[in-house]
Structure 1
């Protein structure tokens, strides 16, 4: 068989795909036993090449996986247009002169083959058997066996191709995710550093004995910086959540959530010292969660009340426990939230109809909602003509968990 060429020229991917079908060796053995023929092959056939992807060579002619034959000397090259099997029991009695010429070139007498197709009908190659002696091949049950084997191989090849595409897409997504995370980290650094410098400078200026006008300017700087910091945090959290990496939670035992609430309240009072913030806080509010993210919920809900509520009415804040749950509520006087807005209140970039300057991007409630979900909690809202209330709840942990921390 002088037409056999070196293995390095074969299409590795097709051979790997066929070799991954564990039942192919058994199929080829059954074909040889059933037909009495010495060679059975699964071949990849294209317009340019014939390559053995799997072979059973009982005649020891060197037809191994990866070996290639001259396409013009094979009958398999014609199977793409065939709907049924090609069976030649004895080349000396075959009426097709071209097939006889191809068989005679190597001294073969018998040949049978069926096309292998993908699920979409595209031609892959052939399942064939060949021998130097005649064979009885025109048997319906034999042809049906070949057809079923070819159909099974085609099914596995189709599944393998889909898996390969999925793995390629996954690798591409992983590369994109890595670049995205790097971008978010750099963006956060480049945005937060200058802002931290502005906040620190404003705090230093506040201590230098300013007159009334200077004091107002410093407060404006602090107010704007506070809103800018919130916008940056919300944008970065939204980007992480929406673009795939998700909100990162560093959950630990929190011995008293009331401490976090009071700290957030202190920060808010620094920005809006004229607003009345009334807190009712229960003792020993034991939680398991991310203290930074939980403080973001408290800050977002309180800031939302400050921005949207009646500026002359007090804002009522409560941190309580009830039926094994931590309850954090913020209530403010002001206009009732319209019903159509209530339906989309926790969706991103939706801010309602009454937009105030500097109000933000509409991400605060969405981020708070996602953080709540990450803590097995939830946020709800109610609004009427009297007041608007936002309620955040999540499970408490007992004193036993404090004494024996989770590992």
Structure 2
């Protein structure tokens, strides 16, 4: 029976989308048939996530006797342990762990959080030997362990941030520290994960491996979007609003077309009927308007029905630029409408928890930064429609 004190750790690992892909990649890269993320304390070894092809018998929440594991030693010295052939190894041929569990190959990488706390290990085992001499294996698994640690840190930081945001006296300090953490400490390891995926892609032609690499890249991209959304939230709520750099642009329509195509490629099962008819010389921040459209499309794809097509229109009307997006699905409840453009309200409204509930808030802030508006209507007959409007030209106030 799992100790209740470890349920939050198991839930935290379960909520990291990339973990199942990471465990599958660990098995593929090492040739081993069991991989896991373990929580390791001074008294317990608890499995948080498992990918088992050898019927080892562990499930999330399952425990091993701490002293029977090598992870117990790793917790003390905080260094990886790797061997591919235990019975031929000068040290591990005599070690009690391979003998106890019948192991020949083993790799375990410590997961250490940003504050130096030891969380546990990313590990793989097998009863048959494996070739683990290639340095890229240890390097790649170390990057995976860093990604898991970074994700755990992000979860903790977000929880702490929601509590801190209730205290207006802490806003100044929070702005400086929070933006610094997001802008550097989270982006740096995320860049390492992306580069690692790119490197792996150049070294294999195996279709399954390429699919797994693509999944890692997609997960890191999604995490990057979350980080950027939180940065925008921090700037919008804690600073002077989401920054925009407005200028006359002649290619706003082309920019929005690229955004539309990116969403379509990411969601090939969704049909988007669009009509883009925008003039040249629009006074705006084209990248921010593109972000506004991306957030609206992402919201429609995630929360609307994917069977009827999404209808998108962009046009000029009465010296204003209008972006209109309509999708079908269950109407938005009336009690949710006042909260729709507020941050961190999705779970309170009982919606699915993809993302952080910041997309519509940021879209509304971008519209406001352009002296415009973002409105919504939702009925069973007409569907849910978001309409953004902002002046097409600069106006003296």
- TM-score normalised to the size of structure 1? 0.49
What's the CA shift for 1:311?
A: 2.3
Secondary structure of the 1:304 match is: helix
Query: Is residue 390 of structure 2 the alignment partner of residue 394 of structure 1?
Result: yes
Q: Quote the Cα distance in structure 2 between the aligned partners of 1:291 and 1:350.
A: 28
Give 1:376's aligned residue: 371
Query: Is residue 341 of structure 2 the alignment partner of residue 331 of structure 1?
Result: no
What's the CA shift for 1:361?
A: 1.3
Give 2:336's aligned residue: 341
What's the CA shift for 1:286?
A: 3.3
Give 1:79's aligned residue: none
Structure 2 CA distance for partners of 1:215 and 1:268, relative to 1, 3 Å: farther
Q: Quote the Cα distance in structure 2 between the aligned partners of 1:263 and 1:228.
A: 21
Q: Quote the Cα distance in structure 1 between the aligned partners of 2:266 and 2:221.
A: 7
What's the CA shift for 1:369?
A: 0.8
Give 1:317's aligned residue: 312
Match of 1:260 among 255, 260, 273: 255
Moved over 3 A (4+): 175-183, 196-216
Give 2:232's aligned residue: 237
Structure 2 CA distance for partners of 1:337 and 1:212, relative to 1, 3 Å: farther
In the alignment of these two chains, the number of paired residues is 227
Query: Is residue 152 of structure 2 the alignment partner of residue 194 of structure 1?
Result: no
Q: Quote the Cα distance in structure 2 between the aligned partners of 1:365 and 1:289.
A: 19
What's the CA shift for 1:178?
A: 8.1
Q: Quote the Cα distance in structure 2 between the aligned partners of 1:314 and 1:209.
A: 38
Q: Quote the Cα distance in structure 2 between the aligned partners of 1:306 and 1:188.
A: 28
Query: Is residue 246 of structure 2 the alignment partner of residue 251 of structure 1?
Result: yes
Q: Quote the Cα distance in structure 1 between the aligned partners of 2:358 and 2:172.
A: 22
Structure 2 CA distance for partners of 1:209 and 1:346, relative to 1, 3 Å: same
1:237-278 residue CA offsets vs partner (Å, 9 max, x unmatched): 111222234322222212132112112123223322332222
| Equivalent residue runs for 1:5-404 within 5 Å | 177=172, 180-181=175-176, 184-202=179-197, 210-351=205-346, 353-357=349-353, 359-386=354-381, 387-397=383-393
> Given that residues 205 and 218 in structure 1 are in contact (C-alpha distance below 8 angstroms), is that contact kept between their aligned partners in structure 2?
yes
Structure 2 CA distance for partners of 1:336 and 1:214, relative to 1, 3 Å: farther
> Given that residues 182 and 227 in structure 2 are in contact (C-alpha distance below 8 angstroms), is that contact kept between their aligned partners in structure 1?
no
Q: Quote the Cα distance in structure 2 between the aligned partners of 1:361 and 1:299.
A: 15
> Given that residues 275 and 314 in structure 2 are in contact (C-alpha distance below 8 angstroms), is that contact kept between their aligned partners in structure 1?
yes
Where in structure 1 are there 5+ consecutive unaligned residues? 1-172
- Quote the RMSD (CA, aligned, Å): 3.1
Structure 2 CA distance for partners of 1:378 and 1:397, relative to 1, 3 Å: same
Give 1:130's aligned residue: none
Q: Quote the Cα distance in structure 1 between the aligned partners of 2:363 and 2:188.
A: 24
Q: Quote the Cα distance in structure 2 between the aligned partners of 1:203 and 1:331.
A: 37
Structure 2 CA distance for partners of 1:216 and 1:272, relative to 1, 3 Å: farther
> Given that residues 222 and 271 in structure 1 are in contact (C-alpha distance below 8 angstroms), is that contact kept between their aligned partners in structure 2?
no
Moved more, 209-218 or 243-252: 209-218
Q: Quote the Cα distance in structure 2 between the aligned partners of 1:383 and 1:256.
A: 31
Secondary structure of the 1:339 match is: coil
1:360-397 residue CA offsets vs partner (Å, 9 max, x unmatched): 11111111111111101100111111421111111113
